[in-house]
Amino acid sequence: MTTLKDTFSFYNELIKPLYSEIEAEGNDLPIELLFEIHAAFDHLKRFYLDEESEKESCEKAISHLKRGALDTFKLKLKYFNNDVKSLSNSNIDLEIIDSGNYFKEFLKDKNNIVSQSKEARQQESNKDKNKAFETWIDVSLLIDEFKVKYFDDSKVSWAKKKTKKLFRKETLASFSIGLITGLIILIIDKINLMSVFINHLNKAPK
């Protein structure tokens, strides 16, 4: 039997940490989750005031909380995709971290999260809400692990500094090559000009 204790444990152990995380990420709470929390507590009220059974009230309340969590998982995935895109599109050469292993694992784990989230959406479309909810929990945990593993400021900062140094060296090398090439062309042009002048002198009537 689903009890009030079960319902509040579910709220405290999953919903509260989830919306706190999203609030910290986006500086705002998703409206959908707030609506579902409101609906959940309205059902709990019915147990006390409207003589609805504890089991029915709690099951309906948890159902609303799960729907709110599903919306929040998708918002978490959206923030994750934005963070990954921002890092991938930066001028930082991620392939120099850990001899290239960092970036290979980065892509593999990112693709795994994308694959799992597609599976969760497919389960939702097949009306398998409970299975979808469990899969979304897995996706959420994978995102947490990804952030710890790849958004390491020390490694990314090192790569950023290293990339700037390499960029400066490449820029200097390109400038030097361009300068030397220009000088060579200038010298060749002068030699050609001198040759034309000498030929002209030799052909002039004496």
Region 77-91 average pLDDT = 87
The overall average pLDDT reported for the chain is 81
Considering only residues 183 and 58, tell me which one the structure prediction assigns the higher pLDDT.
Answer: 58
Q: Give the pLDDT confidence score for residue 186 in this predicted structure.
A: 64
Q: Give the pLDDT confidence score for residue 172 in this predicted structure.
A: 46
User: Which pLDDT band, with edges at 50, 70 and 90, does 206 fall under?
Assistant: low
Considering only residues 97 and 80, tell me which one the structure prediction assigns the higher pLDDT.
Answer: 80
- Asked whether the beta carbons of 84 and 110 are under 8 A apart, the reply is yes
CA 105 to chain CA centroid, nearest Å: 14
Q: What is the pLDDT of residues 14-52, one digit of tens each?
A: 998 988 888 888 667 778 888 999 999 999 999 989 888
- pTM exceeds 0.75: no
How is residue 196 written in tokens?
């034309």
Torsion of CA 185, 187, 191, 193, to 10 degrees: 70
Q: What is the DSSP letter of 95?
A: G
Considering only residues 98 and 144, tell me which one the structure prediction assigns the higher pLDDT.
Answer: 144
Q: What is the pLDDT of residues 110-135, one digit of tens each?
A: 999 999 999 999 998 888 888 999 99
Region 156-179 average pLDDT = 58
How is residue 48 written in tokens?
């006390």
Q: Give the pLDDT confidence score for residue 109 in this predicted structure.
A: 94
Q: What is the pLDDT of residues 43-58, one digit of tens each?
A: 999 998 988 899 999 9
pLDDT at 184 over 80: no
